[in-house]
Chains A and B, each alone.
Chain A
Amino acid sequence: MSLILIPFLLAAAATPAELSASKILTGGELRFVLPSEPKTLHPLQVSDESGELIRYLTSGSLVRLNRVSQKIEPELAESWKLGDNGAQITFQLRKGLKYSDGSPFDSADVVFTIQKLLDKTMVSPAAESFRPETGTVEVKALGATTVVVKFPSHVAGVERLFSGLSILSSRSPKKEAVGLGPFVIAESKAGSFLRMTRNSNYWKKDSNGRQLPYLDGIRVEFQRNRDIELLRFQKGELDLVSNLEPEAFEKLKTNPAVTSLDLGTSLDATQLWFNQVPTAPIGAYKKEWFGSQAFRLAISESINRKDMARVVYHGFGVPAAGSISPSNIFWYANELKAQEFQPKAALARLQKEGFRLDGEQLKDKGGNLVEFTIVTNTGNKVRERLAAMIQADLRQMGIKVTVAALDFPSLIERIMRTFNYEACLLGVVNTDLDPSSQMNFWLSSGSSHAWNPNQKTPVTSWEADIDKWMRLQSKEIDPKKRKAAFDKVQVIAALQSPIIYLINKRTLGAASPRVKNLKPAILPPHMVWNIEEIYFAEGAGKVAK
Chain B
Amino acid sequence: MKLRRIIACLLIGLAVLLLGARWVAPHGYEQQFRDFIAASPTKEFPLGTDALGRDRLARLLYGSRLSLLLAPAAAAVSVFLAALIGGLAAFAGKRWERAILLATDLTLSLPWLFLILTIRGAMPLDVQPEISVLITFLVLGLLGWAGPARVVRAGVKKIIASDFVFQANAMGTPPRRIFFHYILPNVRPLLFAQFWISLPVFILSEANLGAMGLSVSEPMPSWGNLLRELESQTSALEHPLQNWWLLAPIVLLVGVVSLLQVWQQRPKGSL
A residues in contact (CB < 8 Å) with B: 227, 247, 251, 307, 310-312, 371-373, 375, 378-381, 384-385, 387-389, 391-392, 402-407, 409-410, 413-414, 420-422
Residues of B within 8 Å of A, CB-based: how many?
28
The closest CB in chain B to the CB of A248 belongs to: B232
A410-B120 contact given A247-B232, A388-B219, A389-B32, CB 8 Å threshold: yes
A307-B34 contact given A378-B212, A402-B128, A421-B125, CB 8 Å threshold: yes
A379-B52 contact given A311-B37, A407-B121, CB 8 Å threshold: no
B44 interfacial contact with A, CB 8 Å:
no
Interchain CB contact (< 8 A) of B218 among A251, A372, A387: A387
Shortest distance from the beta carbon of B75 to any chain A beta carbon, whole Å:
25
* Chain A positions within 8 Å of B129 at CB level: 402
* Chain B positions within 8 Å of A381 at CB level: 232
A310 CA / B32 CA spacing, docked (Å) = 13
A407-B117 contact given A378-B212, A378-B214, A388-B52, CB 8 Å threshold: yes
Interchain CB contact (< 8 A) of A402 among B51, B118, B125, B213: B125
A392-B37 contact given A311-B53, A385-B52, A420-B125, CB 8 Å threshold: no
* Chain B positions within 8 Å of A307 at CB level: 34
Shortest distance from the beta carbon of A365 to any chain B beta carbon, whole Å:
21
Shortest distance from the beta carbon of B35 to any chain A beta carbon, whole Å:
9
In B26-51, the 8 Å CB interface with A consists of 30-32, 34, 37, 51
A307 CA / B32 CA spacing, docked (Å) = 11
10 CB-based A-B contacts, threshold 8 Å: A307-B34, A312-B51, A380-B213, A387-B218, A392-B32, A404-B125, A405-B213, A406-B121, A407-B117, A413-B121
A384-B218 contact given A307-B34, A378-B213, A405-B213, CB 8 Å threshold: yes
Knowing that A388-B52, A405-B213, A410-B121 touch, tell me 12 more A-B residue pairs with CB under 8 angstroms: A310-B37, A378-B212, A379-B212, A385-B52, A392-B219, A402-B126, A403-B217, A403-B218, A404-B127, A407-B121, A421-B125, A422-B125
In B88-106, the 8 Å CB interface with A consists of none
* Chain A positions within 8 Å of B219 at CB level: 388, 391-392
Q: Quick check: A373 and B126 within 8 Å, CB to CB? A: yes
Interchain CB contact (< 8 A) of B120 among A310, A387, A407, A420: A407
Shortest distance from the beta carbon of A413 to any chain B beta carbon, whole Å:
8
* Chain A positions within 8 Å of B232 at CB level: 247, 381
The closest CB in chain A to the CB of B225 belongs to: A384
A380 CA / B235 CA spacing, docked (Å) = 20
Q: Quick check: A311 and B52 within 8 Å, CB to CB? A: yes
The 8 closest A-B pairs by CB, nearest first: A410-B121, A378-B213, A388-B218, A373-B125, A379-B213, A404-B125, A407-B117, A392-B32
Query: Which of B118, B123, B218 is packed against the most chain A CB atoms within 10 Å?
Result: B218
A405 CA / B235 CA spacing, docked (Å) = 28
The closest CB in chain B to the CB of A378 belongs to: B213
Shortest distance from the beta carbon of B69 to any chain A beta carbon, whole Å:
21
Shortest distance from the beta carbon of B30 to any chain A beta carbon, whole Å:
7
Shortest distance from the beta carbon of A292 to any chain B beta carbon, whole Å:
20
Shortest distance from the beta carbon of A155 to any chain B beta carbon, whole Å:
40
A307 CA / B132 CA spacing, docked (Å) = 29
A247 CA / B235 CA spacing, docked (Å) = 11
Query: Which of A379, A380, A402 is packed against the most chain B CB atoms within 10 Å?
Result: A402
* Chain B positions within 8 Å of A410 at CB level: 117-118, 120-121
* Chain A positions within 8 Å of B214 at CB level: 378, 405
The closest CB in chain B to the CB of A379 belongs to: B213
Shortest distance from the beta carbon of A156 to any chain B beta carbon, whole Å:
39
B234 interfacial contact with A, CB 8 Å:
yes
Q: Quick check: B51 and A385 within 8 Å, CB to CB? A: yes
Digitize B219-243: 1 where CB-to-A-CB distance is under 8 Å, 0 elsewhere: 1000000000000101100000000
The closest CB in chain A to the CB of B229 belongs to: A381
